[in-house]
Amino acid sequence: MDLLKAACICFIFSFFQSSCNAASYNVVSFGARPNGRTDSSQAFERAWRAACASWSSSMVYIPRGVFMTKPVVFTGPCRSRILFQIDGTLVAPPNYHDMGKSGFWILFTKVSRLTVHGGTIDAKGAKLWACRRRGSNCPPGVRSISFMWSSNVVVSGLKSLYSELIHVAISQCNNILFEHLNIIAPSRSPNTDGMVIQSSTGITIKHSVFRTGDDCIAVGPGSKNIWMENIACGPGHGISIGSLGNSLNEAGVQNVTVTNAVFTKTQNGVRIKSWARDSKSYATNVEFRNIIMRSVDNPIIIDQTYCPGNRCPRQTSGVEVSNVRYSNIKGSSTTVEAVKFECSLSNPCRGIQMRNIRLVTPNRVTTSTCENAHGWASGHVFPRSCL
């Protein structure tokens, strides 16, 4: 490792802790091979276990090179802080059957005081996408990198390519910061959500780019205090809260903010989505502000009629949507119906606020539609508010 690289890593680690006197565990020393062919998963886990057992702050170091790894699990709790520094590229095995059926490729579980910095992970999902398109007997696929039952984590500078399914999955976590992520999958790649958050609190995503075949970011049940700032989304399906209300006693979503975001040629912009069936779930205290839409199909949408496969006939959504604020949103819609609030008949949306909105469509006049939606508008709002 050259002196400049060492100094940079020291700076990152010193930001995360008070000193830079950290033990370093290079995965190559534990048997990893940077040739892109040899399975390095066991070497990665050995290096992790050594760092995890250290009484002082430590670093797991993946140097430059291409490291092939089958599914790998990094388990805590650990004795001290860990910097997981990736300077190389991690690639999936060439045969997607080698990814197994766990649903995870790279999994951090029950960890705390962790920083993951840099690097590229390439799940090489194209072969599995093709299998699904053929309707063949395909394995279920894996999430590229996941965090479960973890807290006080920073993930910075990570690039994720061609996930089989979700790029980044978060569940049962607290206080995680994601920044400077670069998430890439083709627009037609199935179920390649950029990030899915569930049952987690205090998740922040900043200064990141999402180009996917599904939601750029999806905020799922049981999530609260979610902050998204300086996000570029597109292609993809936009930023979604939901879908919510798939089960009766499902937890709700609260305190979600999206600010300073740009959506480019996405299917949706900012969306709240719930199943059209009975549920005790909810979405409340949500704010979308300072957003630019560039050729977006559905810039602003609340859809409480979600029912794929017609599995909820003659039902209405029990999800309560309230206190949702839209402000300083401008740009272009590819459809005339730029604002669509399709709320539940049995649980109408309440407290919807719109302020300073301007969404236009070339050569046509944009409209807004409201069904069972209650709220108010202020400032300049175009298309004219239906609230």
Reference 300, options 262, 259, 347, 337; nearest CA is: 337
Question: What are the residues facing 62 on neighbouring strands?
Answer: 86
- What does the pLDDT look like over 56-104, one tens digit per residue? 999 999 999 999 999 999 999 999 999 999 999 999 999 999 999 999 9
Asked if 237 is an active-site residue, the reply is yes
Written as six digits, the tokens of 212 are 């996917």
Reference 329, options 237, 267, 261; nearest CA is: 261
**What is residue 308's predicted lDDT score, i.e. its pLDDT?**
83
> CB–CB of 121/164 below 8 Å?
no
Reference 61, options 1, 121, 148; nearest CA is: 1
**What is residue 20's predicted lDDT score, i.e. its pLDDT?**
55
Please, which contacts does 126-130 make with residues 24 or more away whose CB atoms are closer than 8 Å?
126/162, 126/189, 127/96, 128/96, 128/164, 129/164, 129/189, 129/190
Ramachandran region, residue 8 (left: φ > 0; alpha: ψ -120 to 50; beta: rest): alpha
Residues contacting residue 85 through CB under 8 Å, at least 6 positions apart = 9, 12, 59, 60, 61, 62, 117, 118, 119
Written as six digits, the tokens of 38 are 């040899």
- Could you read off the pLDDT tens digit of each residue along the chain, which spans 387 residues? 443 344 444 544 444 444 456 799 999 999 999 999 999 999 999 999 999 999 999 999 999 999 999 999 999 999 999 999 999 999 999 999 999 999 999 999 999 999 999 999 999 999 999 999 898 889 999 999 999 999 999 999 999 999 999 999 999 999 999 999 999 999 999 999 999 999 999 999 999 999 999 999 999 999 999 999 999 999 999 999 999 999 999 999 999 999 999 999 999 999 999 999 999 999 999 999 999 999 999 999 999 999 887 777 778 999 999 999 999 999 999 999 999 999 999 999 999 999 999 999 988 999 999 999 999 999 999 999 999
**What is residue 6's predicted lDDT score, i.e. its pLDDT?**
44
Written as six digits, the tokens of 344 are 């539940």
Calpha distance 20→58 (Å, rounded): 9
- What does the pLDDT look like over 216-266, one tens digit per residue? 999 999 999 999 999 999 999 999 999 999 999 999 999 999 999 999 999
Reference 272, options 339, 194, 174, 201; nearest CA is: 339
Residue 137: strand, helix, or coil: coil
Written as six digits, the tokens of 244 are 């919510």
How wide is the angle at C-alpha 294 spanned by C-alphas 293 and 298, nearest 5°? 60
**What is residue 21's predicted lDDT score, i.e. its pLDDT?**
64
This prediction has a pTM of 0.94
Calpha distance 12→273 (Å, rounded): 38
Residues contacting residue 174 through CB under 8 Å, at least 6 positions apart = 150, 151, 152, 200, 201, 202
Reference 36, options 85, 90, 72; nearest CA is: 90
How buried is residue 18: exposed, middle or buried, by Cβ count under 10 Å (0-12/13-18/19+)?
A: exposed
Residue 42: strand, helix, or coil: helix
Reference 326, options 239, 237, 236, 208; nearest CA is: 239
Residues contacting residue 93 through CB under 8 Å, at least 6 positions apart = 39, 68, 69, 70, 99
CA distances from 34 to 9, 43, 87 (A): 20, 12, 11
Written as six digits, the tokens of 371 are 């069904």
Catalytic option among 97, 117, 167, 237: 237
Count of Cβ atoms closer than 10 Å to residue 192 Cβ: 29
